[in-house]
Amino acid sequence: MTYIGATPVRRRIPVVRYMPGIGAIWLREVKRALRDRGQLIGGFSRPLLWVLIMGIGLNPYFRGEVYGEVRFVVPYTYVQFIFPAIIMLNIMYTSVQSAVSMIWDREFGFLREVLVSPLPRWAVLLGKILGGATIATGHGCLVILLARFANVPLSPGDVVVGIAFMFLAAFGLTALGIVIANRVRTFQGFGVFANAVILPLYFTSSSVFPLDPALTRAQTAVLYPEWLVLLVRANPLTYAVDSLRGIFIDFNQFDPSLGPLVAFCMAGGFFLVALWDFRKP
C-alpha cells in the first residue's frame, strides 16, 4: 500500500490492473469468431459427420471384434467410444485455426497498434488465447448437444466438469496455434502447417481406435505396430481424450490423473513458448 499525502492508495496486482485490456482483446476475438459463418458451419457439420458416418458406420464392426489372436472388447458402442474424441477434434480445429487472427492482425497493422499501447505483451497474448479458448470450448459444447444421438447419458455435473477440462485443453491448443502462427507468416502456409499438426496429433491420440494398456507388449503388437504404440503413448493429446472419456462415458484407458496433469503442463508450456516468441521484436 502506498500513500498520496495522507490518503492510502491500494496497489492493484498487474493481472487486475490489465483485466480491462485483456477483456477487450478477448471480446474482440469472440465477436470476430461469431461473425464467421464458415467457422460456425464447420463447428456443426464436423461432429455431425463423424457421429453419423464414422460412428454409426463402424459401430457394427467394433463390439466384440477379434483382431489377430487378441479379443479386444470395449463395453461401449463405437459411437459412444469416439464421442469424447469428436469433442476434442472440434476443439483442436477451432483452437488452432483461431490463431489465424494473429497473422491477420500482423498483416493489417492492428497488432502493431496494440503492442505500442500500455498493455504488456503477456496481457495481449493472454487475451487472444482466452478468446480462442472460449470459442473452441463453445464448439466443443456443440458436440455435447449430440450426446442424445450418440446414446451418451450426461448429468449436469459431468457437463460442468467436462466444460472446465475442455477449456483447459482449448487454452493449450490455442497457445499451440499461436506458436505456429509466430513461425508461419502467411495464411496459406499456416493452413497447410496447421493441418499437418492437427491430423497426426488427433489420429495418434487413441481417438479412433482403442489402446488397452493392460495388454502385454506381445498382445499389443498383434493389434498395432510398436512404433505406433510409442507415438500414441508419447502424444499428450492421448491423455486429454482419455480424460474426456472418463468424464463423459466413465471409461479410462490410462491413469485418470494423467489427463489433467498433462493438460496443465501442455497449457503452461505452450503459453510460455508463445510468450517467448511474442516478446521478440
Q: Is 215 exposed, middle or buried (0-12, 13-18, 19+ CB in 10 A)?
A: middle
Residues 248 and 83: beta-carbon distance below 8 Å: yes
Task: Name the E strands within the chain.
Answer: 2-4, 7-9, 66-67, 70-71
- In the structure grid, which three cell numbers stand for residue 118, read together? 500500455
Q: pLDDT tens per residue, the chain (281 residues)?
A: 444 454 454 555 566 777 888 888 888 888 887 777 766 676 666 766 666 666 665 555 555 444 443 344 556 777 888 889 889 988 988 888 887 777 777 776 677 777 777 788 888 889 889 999 999 999 999 889 888 888 888 899 999 999 999 999 999 999 998 888 887 777 677 777 777 788 888 888 888 777 765 544 444 544 567 777 788 888 999 999 999 999 998 888 888 889 999 999 999 999 999 888 877 65
The model's pTM: 0.81
